[in-house]
A = this chain, B = another copy of it.
Amino acid sequence: MTDSKDTIITEGFSCPLPIMDYDTIQLAHGAGGKLSGDLIEKVFMPCFGNETLEKLEDQATLSPMKGRLAFTTDSFVVHPIFFPGGNIGELAINGTVNDLCMSGAVPKYISVAFILEEGLPVADLHHIAVSMRRAADRAGVLIVTGDTKVVDRGSCDKLFINTSGIGEIPDHVHMGIKRIKPGDQIILSGHIADHGMAVMTTREGLSFQTQISSDTAALNHLVADMLKASPEIHAMRDPTRGGVATTLNEMARGAHLGIQIYQDRIRVRDDVRGACEILGIDPLYVANEGKLVAFVDKQVADKVLKAMRENELGRQAAIIGEVVAEHPGKVVMKTSLGVNRLIDMPIGQQLPRIC
């Protein structure tokens, strides 16, 4: 996960920077001709290559899958494209894996579509592609189909990535907002606001004693551990855009139930809290990219929590509150001072373009 641009990559899959006719992306790299072929052959195939992708058809053919399918899509437009703890490509793979596994699905296949700005250094694209492959390997998913478009200089901001994904939902898993019920315990998997503040402080050129790093990570192995502990997990979400506050509001509204949380159970790293205070931002509304919120049947909450804490990505997991029959559609937080405060849905963003 230490994949910021200045870091030498030593772990996992590696792939040398290819020798190409151009050092930067040309419009012709997206036109379907020889230069498009060059980009596919020298950058994408060595990075992403697998049996399915190598057929180079306009679509991937996948073996039949037994269970229900989960299908999701997400575009990534974060700037800067490299930030402490990761880059836009790694974020895209992890984000799509996470959207799939939040339904309890086992993520299987990912599509990758690039929109590249003319003039983007090929070395940057290559670096991003290598970290996408590495993220896919860590999550155990295959990149099976893709697309590349190039737009004129000034028509996009360096590069945008869309990743869509397919997963398989095991027969015994049934999650969804509608399954949430009063008494459900709300578990948060760790510290909040790391990703948003890593991007924000980089963008604003702020530096602190310790560097704030994005928490970008694939949560599917953590989810598998949780479901092994008990299938009585009623719903899950990854609190990305809008943070934990927005996610909880969506869940309260969708379930027509109330949510009660406790401020002193929600962990925020000291440096992240400091950055939030300087910038006047509430960490509850800041994006996370490697955290989940789970609504778990009261009977099994401790068991699920224990399983989470045995996984590296859930070491700091905690029960932060519960679902209540009162104040349906609303999220209420008992503050450190002991008073209840309404946690509303934000109007817009505190942080634009952080995923």
Contact = CB atoms under 8 A, between A and B. Distances in A.
B146 A73 contact: yes
Nearest to A102: B58
Interface in A22-69: 26-37, 55-69
Instruction: Specify how many copies of this chain sit in the oligomer.
Output: 2
25 contacts: A28-B349, A31-B241, A31-B242, A32-B241, A33-B347, A59-B71, A61-B68, A61-B70, A61-B103, A61-B169, A62-B68, A62-B71, A63-B69, A64-B65, A64-B69, A71-B109, A71-B166, A72-B145, A73-B112, A73-B146, A75-B147, A111-B164, A151-B157, A151-B353, A152-B353
Interface in A328-347: 345-347
A177 B61 CA distance: 13
Contacts of A71: 59-60, 62, 109, 111, 144-145, 166
Interface string A91-124: 0000000011011010001011111000000000
Contact of A246 (B33, B150, B157): B33
Q: What DSSP secondary structure best describes chain A's contact surface?
A: mixed
Contacts of A57: 102-103, 176-177
Nearest to A66: B64
B59 A70 contact: yes
Contacts of A32: 240-242, 246, 346, 349
Given A32-B246, A156-B157, 19 more contacts: A32-B242, A33-B348, A37-B345, A57-B176, A58-B72, A59-B99, A59-B100, A62-B69, A62-B71, A63-B68, A64-B65, A71-B109, A71-B111, A73-B111, A73-B145, A73-B147, A73-B164, A79-B155, A113-B162
